[in-house]
A and B are shown apart, each in its own frame.
Chain A
C-alpha cells in the first residue's frame, strides 16, 4: 500500500509540473482516428518546426477527445495560459498556428476551436462549451484526450486506481453491492444487470474463475471501445481488476480484434507498467488478491462478439456460439465460471468505486443509471464519439450534439447491424434499454447511424442483412438459411422485381429467425428489416408498386439524365464519366446516352451546379418495368 501511495504522490507532483508548465506543451490527438486524419504527419511537422526555430516544447501524444469531424486536433499550452485547441489542422495551417502561438505567444484565434480554461480566452470559447460537447457527460471518457495513454503516472495523478484501492478495502460481496446500488447494466448491448451476473459467478463452485473483457467490437461504424482503449487503457484494466476481485477470478483475458493494432500495443504497454507498479500479479497492493491479464487477439469474426462464441475462440475452437444454459457465469471458459464484460462496463467501474454508488445514480434515470458512449456516424454534421446520460432523447443527440443532418433526416439506426431503424416520429424517444426495445430496436454496444434523404431504406436493410448473413457462423438453420432468403428477397425488391407477397415472406422469415435462432446474432439479425417494414413500409411499397427508389440509390430503378435548362456545359461530368456516356461541346447542355450509362453516379457527385441551379443532373426513378 505504501508503495503505491508513494507512486501516487510522485505522479501527482509530475502532473502538477505539467499543469504549471514552464515550457510550452503541444498535445496531438494521435489515436487511430487522429492518425487516419494525418496526426503522424503533423507530429513530424511539429518536430521539424521546433528544430528549425530552435524552440523547445514538449510534445505529448494523447488519445481521442471525441469530435471525429475535427480531427486532427492539435492543442498548445503555453506557461500560465490555458490549453488551446486547433481543429482540422493540416500541414499548411501548422506553421501559421505554431508561429503565432508558440513563437509570438498569441493564440491564432481564427483557427482556434476552444480553450480548456474556465472562461473564454482571446475570444476563443471554452472547449466544453462547444455545442457538441456541452450536452455530454463524460465519465467513462473522462481522461480521453487529456492523458498520455502510455503513461501510467498521468492516470494515477487523476485519481486512477483509486477505485481499485477502495475496492480492495471492501469485501468482494460489498463491491458487488456497490455495483448493485449503482444500478450498472451491461454496456455490451443486452443491458443485463452487472451485479446479477457477478453474483451468479461468485457463488458458482470452482477454484478457477475467469474474467473476460469483450473488446471484439465488430459493428460496422462503431469505435467506442477502440477509442477508450487507445486513449485510456488503464481505465479498462482497473475495471478488470475490480471485476476480477469481485467475482473471485485470478485470470483476466482481453479478447480484442487484431484489427486494432494501436489499442493492442497500448494495452501491452499499460500491462507492463502495471506489473512494474505492483498492480498486476501476486498479492496486488499487498492484499490477498492475485490477478493477471492476458491479451487474446481475435481474427475478426463478427460472431465472436457473442459470448459463447468468444469463449470457443479463446479455447482455440471455431468461433461458434453454443446454447445456453449453462450460462458462462456457471460454466464458461474451459468449463470454469466465467464473466464476460464489455469494455465500457469495465471502464465505468473505476468511476463507480472511486466516487461511490450514490454519485453514479445521479446520472441517467431510474432503471437506466449512468452514461453510455455512442459512436455517432452517418449523415450527421458532427460525427464523433460521444457520451451521454441514459435517457437522453434521440433528438438531443442528433441535433444538439450531432448538429443536425446534412439533408432531411430520414432514419436513425441504433445498435449496429442488428439494431432497428427508427423514423422521425421516434426522435423524442429517450435512449434507454427499455424504450429502444419497445420500438423493436436495441441499445447494442452503441452505434448510432444517421440517415438522410440520400439513403434508401431498403438498400440499408439489405446491406445490414447481407452483413449478418455473411458473418453468420453457419451453425443453426434459421440464421444461416433464413438470412440468406431475406437477402435474396431484398435483392429482388431493390432490383424492382418485388411483389407485395415478398413483404409477407420477409416478415415471416424475420419472425422465424428471431424466435428460432441460437444466438444473439441470429435473434437480432432481422431487426433492420422488421423495423423498416414497420416504419418505412411506404418506401418498400414504392419499390414494389411504382418501381421507384426515392433516394435514388437502387440502380435498377433509376435513370440519369441531364436537365438541359440547368446544365452550363462545364464538362466536368464528361471528364469523370468512365464509359463516355455524356457528350457535348463546352458551354452547351450535354447529352447523356442511357445505353452507355452504367449508373455509377460519378456525374451526379461531380456536378457543381446543384447548389446554384439545383440539380443539373437528376436521377429520375424509372417507370416500373413491365
Chain B
C-alpha cells in the first residue's frame, strides 16, 4: 500500500497533519477535536443536512459544514467560536422543535433515572419512557455537548401513527429528524432503494414511495437503517425496550455459508439484538435479515428443548442427563454398526464435527454416516464438491468486469455476495442474471434471462458458445433466448475478470448436474471465477474434519499431495434401520424408518415422527468454536451467553455418551482440548481467518453413492428465503421469517399467474 502524502491544516489554532481526501470532520475526529454532528456517519456518503457540524474556514463564505467540505493544504478551520456556538444552539433548537424533547429538558432529568421521581402521570416503574432509544440516543449526547438547556420554540408533534405492520422493526417517524442516514445506507450501501424521502417542506417524511409497506417495496429487512438511526424512530421489535446491552460479543453467523461477522448484544445473559460489523473483512457489515434479526428469536424461542426427554407410551418424560446418557449408551451398544445410521448436520462447528466423526468411527464402530448435503445432492455430489471446494473469494467481485448470476437472489440471504455484485454493476461491470423468477440483482443487470431451471444448462451452452465467438456471428440459441445475449457476451468476452455466482436455486433444481458441468466449463476453459452460495454453513469444515463418509480428518486439505482418491461408501438412505442418531440435524424427511430415534438438537421439527430420546443442544451463541465459510476462511464462534436451560454443546453430549460406552478415549473437558487435538491430527488447520485449501479430489465411481436404483429427487426451493438452521426452518421459529416467506410465496405465485 502506498502511503498517501499527508497535508497540513490548522484546526482551532493547532497545526495538524491529516490524510488528504478526507473531510474536515474526519480530520477533526482523527485529531480528537469534537464537532457535533447528527447526519454524518462513517461508511455513509456525506450529506450535510443537520447543519450542526458547521465550522468557519478562512476563504470560504459563511459557515460550511465540516462533513461535506474536503480538507485542503493550508486550510485554517475554527470549530468553536462564539458565533458558531450560538448558531449551533439555534439550529439544534429548531431540530428539537420537531422531536419530542422531554427526555432532554425535563426538570427532573437527573433525578428521574435514579429515583423515578416523575410527575405521576405515568407508571412509576417505567418513568416517562416513550422512546425506545433512551440512553442510546445520539441527540441526548449532542444536546449535552452543545450545552442546550432549554428550547424556546413550540414543539410540532407530527402525529404519525407508529408503523408496526412490517416484520422485525417498528417505525415511529414522530421521532425522526430526517438526517437521511437510513436512506443513504439503503440506497448507497445496500443498493436496495426501499427508503426515500417523500413530500417536501414541512411534510417531508421517510418511507417507501407510494405508501407501500416495506414488504411490498422490496425491503430486504437487513436492518441497516435501524442500526444507523440516531434516534428511536427505527427500532428492532424484539429489543426495543431493553435499553443498553451489557456486553457485545463478536461471533460468526452460522445460518448460511457466507460467514458474516455478527456483534451479539447481550443483556442479562440473553442475546437481545445483533448488529453488523462494518469493519469486518468478510462481509463489511452487509449482513442479511437472518443474521440481523432472526437470532434473538431463534435462540430464545419457547420451542427450544430444555431438558433431556424420553418417549414413553404416555408421552415425553423429563429425565436427567445421567439417565439420558445411560439410555443412549444402552441403545447404541445394543445394535450392530450396520443397523445404525448417524446423520450429522453441516451446520455444526468444526469442534462438534471433529468429535462427531471420532464418535462415529471409534465409539460406534463406523456405522453409515450421512448428511443433509449428501441426501440433497444425491449422486451429483461430486460435481457439486468440485465447484464448492474451490470457490473464489468474495473480493474477486470487487475487481470483476463481468458477472453472471445463476439461480441467485440475495434479498433475504447471501447479501454480502449480492451487494458486492450490485456494487460492481454500479461501477460499470456487466451483470447478467439467469434464473427462474425475479432476482433482486435484475434491477442493476445488463440483461436478465428468465426460464425454467431445466433449460439453464441449454442456456449456458449457448452462452459459452457465444462467449467463445466474442458475441459475433450467429449462435444457435440466440433467438430462443430472447434478449441481447450477443451484446452481453461481446462485452463479457473482452474482460479477463469474470465471476459466476451460483445460487442455492441451482442446488435444488432438476438437471442440476448438467448446470454444474457447464459452470465447470466456464471455469476451466474460460478462466471464470466461481462463487457458490449454498445453505450448508460449515460444509467445508465438515470435509476438513472428516465428518463425512469416506473422508478421514484432514486428508482432503493440501499438504503436499496433489490429488486424492475418494470413495463415498454406497448407501441406501431409504432402507429401514434399527437406530438413527441425528446429530444437530432436524430433517426427518431424509431419514429412513427406524426402531429407535435419538434426536440431538435444539428445536423439534414439525413432524408426525416422535423421537424416542431427545438430547437438547446449545446453539452457536452459547458455545465457542470455529467454522469455515465457503471462501474456506476459518472463522471463530464466540460464546455470548450461558447454556439455555439444560441444553449442552453437541461435543459435550457425545463425549459423555462415549464415556458411558467405555469406548474411545474421549477426554475433552473444554473446547481448547478439542482444538489442540485437531491441531495435532490436522496440521494444516491453522489460526482463525486463515484459509484452508483442498487437494484435487478424484471421486471413485464418479461419486455415485446411492445404492442400486435408489433415487433422491431434489426438493425445489426457490430462494434463500426458505432457509433453515440445523434442519429447522427459520420460519417455524421466527415470526418475521414466516411473514417474509409467506409474502415471497404469494408474490412469486402472483408473478406466475400474471405470466
Chain A interface residues (CB < 8 Å from chain B): 301, 303, 318, 320, 322-323, 325-326, 469-478, 480-485, 488, 505, 508, 512, 515-518, 523
Contacts and interface: CB of A to CB of B under 8 A. Distances in A.
Given A471-B201, A481-B97, A485-B153, A516 B178 contact: no
A323 B50 CA distance: 12
A318 B196 contact: yes
Given A318-B197, A477-B91, A515 B97 contact: no
B154 A474 contact: no
A322 B98 CA distance: 22
Interface string B580-608: 00000000000000000000000000000
Contacts of B46: 323
16 contacts: A320-B197, A322-B48, A323-B48, A469-B201, A474-B204, A475-B49, A475-B180, A477-B91, A478-B94, A481-B95, A481-B97, A481-B98, A485-B97, A488-B154, A512-B94, A516-B87
B200 A476 contact: no
Contacts of A475: 47, 49, 178, 180, 197
Given A481-B94, A512-B91, A516-B63, A470 B200 contact: yes
Interface stretch (B64-72, B105-113, B514-522, B646-654): B64-72
Contacts of B70: 325-326
Contacts of B68: 322-323
Contact of A484 (B50, B95, B156): B156
Interface in B69-103: 69-70, 87, 90-91, 94-95, 97-98
A145 B51 CA distance: 48
A518 B48 contact: yes
Interface string B32-64: 000000000000001111110010000010111
Contact of A485 (B94, B180, B197, B199): B94
Chain B interface mostly: loop
Q: Count chain B CB atoms within 10 A of each CB in A323, A325, A326, A485 and give the residue with the most.
A: A323
B5 interface: no
Contact of B197 (A470, A474, A483, A523): A474
A303 B197 CA distance: 15
B121 interface: no
Contacts, number: 100
B202 interface: yes
Given A323-B64, A475-B49, A475-B180, A469 B94 contact: no
Interface of B: 46-51, 54, 60, 62-65, 68-70, 87, 90-91, 94-95, 97-98, 152-154, 156, 177-178, 180, 196-197, 199-204
A74 B523 CA distance: 77
A323 B684 CA distance: 53
A517 B87 CA distance: 11
Contacts of A483: 201
Given A323-B68, A512-B87, 20 more contacts: A303-B200, A318-B196, A320-B197, A322-B48, A325-B64, A469-B202, A470-B202, A471-B200, A473-B204, A474-B200, A474-B204, A477-B94, A480-B204, A485-B97, A508-B90, A515-B63, A516-B51, A517-B51, A518-B51, A518-B65
A301 B200 CA distance: 9
B47 to A, nearest CB: 8
A301 B197 CA distance: 14
Contacts of A472: 200-202, 204
B202 A323 contact: no
Contact of B51 (A326, A473, A474, A478): A478
B91 A323 contact: no
B50 A480 contact: no
A484 B196 CA distance: 22
Nearest to B86: A512
A478 B48 CA distance: 12
B206 to A, nearest CB: 10
B70 to A, nearest CB: 7
Nearest to B183: A318
Contact of A518 (B49, B90, B154, B178): B49
Contacts of B199: 474
Given A318-B196, A322-B68, A484-B202, A474 B90 contact: no
B98 A474 contact: no
Contact of A477 (B51, B60, B152, B201): B51
Nearest to A484: B202
Complex A-B, nearest 6 residue pairs according to Cβ-Cβ distance, in ascending order: A474-B204, A323-B68, A323-B48, A481-B94, A512-B90, A470-B201
Contacts of B69: 323, 325
Nearest to A501: B152
A508 B94 CA distance: 12
A474 B68 CA distance: 18
A322 B87 CA distance: 20
A299 to B, nearest CB: 12
B156 A516 contact: no
Nearest to A473: B200
A303 B46 CA distance: 20
A320 B201 CA distance: 12
Contacts of A303: 200
A508 B98 CA distance: 18
